[in-house]
Amino acid sequence: MNSDELLASARRGASIPNDQNLFTDAELLAFADETIATSFVPMIMSLREEFFVKKENISCVANQAEYNIPPRAIGSTLRDLKLIVGSERKNLIYIQPEVSHKYATSGEPIGFYMQGDQYVLVPVPTSASYSLEISYSFRPSALVPLASAGVVATIGSGLITVTSLPSGILTGVLVDCVSGSANYQNKGYNVAVTNVSGSTVYGTFPSTLAVGDYVCLASTSPVIQLPLELHPAVAQSLQCRYLEAVGDYEGLRVAENRLQQQMTTARQLLSPRIEGEGKFIINRSGLINRNQRRGFR
């Protein structure tokens, strides 16, 4: 369900006139963004099924301990953090800030702690040869009209052409590449546009980009970036917000009951994601994990 289809569904369900001047389309989409952020994302996160998880590798900087949490991480939190030394991936343990001074001051990191919007390695890495593998939950982008995104028509070396270039995509802006199928996740984000010519956009686009995908301004999306099973519920929640705003409390009661039924059904469909195998949880700090490196100075 793209943003235009979302608005059409909400208008049908709540009898919202096309010519009403109480709320613009942008304001209705803002309502949808609010419900996604406050209701749908927390519900999905509570399932613990890794729907939004993204992995990235970043290089360590010699003699630098503090690194920024990705700005689009949900709740400014990390899912996991590993140290890569050569071909080996090593778990980094969480260290209470109050005891971080008891560890060596420099060397190969063995752990980390959180500080504001940063994570701090312990001890301070002395070499730039280390790298970090970070896992975090990627925040769904804000909804924009379908006309605000370009649909990829052809792909070349360092360039793409779109069926219709949105006015906001200009040289120097950052864009996201949103999948045109599945759960509509970002295939690439914050891609710098180096040049624009007609309907051709130049930049370093992800190799996974395919014809039919979307290109839009960074942190925006023309499609709901949630599992498909939740798209009707998002439209239903938008109806609830509209009915509440116009004071139709009888209609709101009926709409909220329907929304509750949809959310219950969606929960049953989304979890568990693996039905044939149970989850086996290993204590990474326990005896079973012989590779865990913990040590005081």
The structure's pTM equals 0.86
In the chain, the percentage of residues whose pLDDT exceeds 90 is 82
Instruction: Tell which phi-psi region holds residue 248, choosing left (phi > 0), alpha (psi between -120 and 50) or beta.
Output: beta
DSSP character string of 47-112: TTS-TTEEEEEEE--TT--EEEPPTTBGGG--SEEEEEETTEEEEPEE--GGGGGGS-SEES--EE
In the chain, the percentage of residues whose pLDDT exceeds 70 is 93
Q: Is residue 125 part of a domain?
A: yes
Q: Is residue 288 part of a domain?
A: no
Q: Is residue 295 part of a domain?
A: no
Q: Is residue 297 part of a domain?
A: no
- What number is the average pLDDT over the span 26-51? 94
Number of domains the chain is built from: 3
Q: Are residues 250 and 202 in the same domain?
A: no
Quote the domain boundaries for residue 187: 141-223
Which residue, of 75, 104, 137, is where some domain finishes?
Answer: 137
**pLDDT computed for residue 282 by the predictor:** 64
**pLDDT computed for residue 297 by the predictor:** 44
- What number is the average pLDDT over the span 71-80? 95
- What number is the average pLDDT over the span 154-168? 95
- Segment 172-204, tens digit of pLDDT: 999 999 999 877 899 999 999 999 999 999 999
